[in-house]
Amino acid sequence: MSNAASQLAAYRKTIDNLDNALVHILAERFRCTDAVGLLKAQHDFPPVDPDREARQFSRLRGLAQDAKADPDFVERLIKSIMIEVVARHRQISADYAAQQVDAP
Amino acid sequence: MSNAASQLAAYRKTIDNLDNALVHILAERFRCTDAVGLLKAQHDFPPVDPDREARQFSRLRGLAQDAKADPDFVERLIKSIMIEVVARHRQISADYAAQQVDAP
């Protein structure tokens, strides 16, 4: 293998390891947000908290900037995760309400 | 603070820590893919490798399934990262070509 090809292979190994880490962090994040969804359904907490979201984006944009990542891209990515979380919370809340009706 | 409210606060602290980790992993991933972009520009490697991409998605979907995350969502998220990577590679390649023209 040429020097450039072996350098490319080494970068790809790193990228694969980082992607594996991303998947596991995402899985754990959804485990937590699902638990939050159940807690909100059980205790009638408001589904979204705009102040918290604003603080999250501001913090994450700052971190992205410090780490030399594109803050706009990071914000878009986290937003797409949050949209998925809200959809799951809606489902968790509907399932919880259905369970309460079914309960004797 | 009620028990439920303090549980919510604890989950949020975990979510914040996971998000901080996500941002740093993303930053490192873009550092690597930018280096790959330069290597590809310097050595005229093909911009995309469909076989590698197919292997990546298959592996990450499997990991997502094992970790009880939604494989479709994980695939969509990684795809949106890859679209950003391709756009950056195009820029890196254009910058490299312009540099070669400018060189004495």
List, as own/partner pairs, every contact residues A9-13 make where C-beta atoms lie below 8 angstroms and the sequence separation is at least 24, other chains included.
Answer: A11/B32, A11/B33, A11/B35, A11/B36, A11/B39, A12/B36, A12/B52
Size of the A and B interface in Cβ pairs below 8 Å = 135
Interchain contact, A36 vs B73, CB within 8 Å: no
The C-alpha atoms of residue A88 and residue A86 are separated, in whole angstroms, by 5
State pLDDT tens for residues B14-47: 999 999 999 999 999 999 999 999 999 999 998 8
- Whether residues A4 and B39 touch (CB distance < 8 A) is answered with yes
Distance (Å) from the alpha carbon of B102 to chain A's nearest alpha carbon: 24
Average pLDDT, chain B: 95
B104 — pLDDT class (breaks 50, 70, 90)? low
Partners of residue B22 in chain A, C-beta under 8 Å: 22, 25-26, 29, 78
What is B54-87 written as a DSSP string? HHHHHHHHHHHHHTT--HHHHHHHHHHHHHHHHH
**Amino acid sitting at position B91:** Q
The whole-angstrom separation of Cα B23 and Cα B42 is: 29
Query: What's chain A look like in SS3?
Result: CCHHHHHHHHHHHHHHHHHHHHHHHHHHHHHHHHHHHHHHHHHCCCCCCHHHHHHHHHHHHHHHHHCCCCHHHHHHHHHHHHHHHHHHHHHHHHHHHHHHHHCC
Give pLDDT tens digits along chain A (104 positions): 789 999 999 999 999 999 999 999 999 999 999 999 999 999 999 888 999 999 999 999 999 999 999 999 999 999 999 999 999 999 999 999 999 887 76
Rounded to two decimals, the pTM is: 0.93
- The pLDDT-based confidence of B60 (bands split at 50, 70, 90) is very high
Burial class (CB in 10 A: 0-12, 13-18, 19+), B104: exposed
Cα(B54)–Cα(B87) distance, rounded to whole angstroms? 19
Tokens 């930053």 -> residue: B27
- Shortest Cα–Cα distance, A11 to chain B (Å): 6
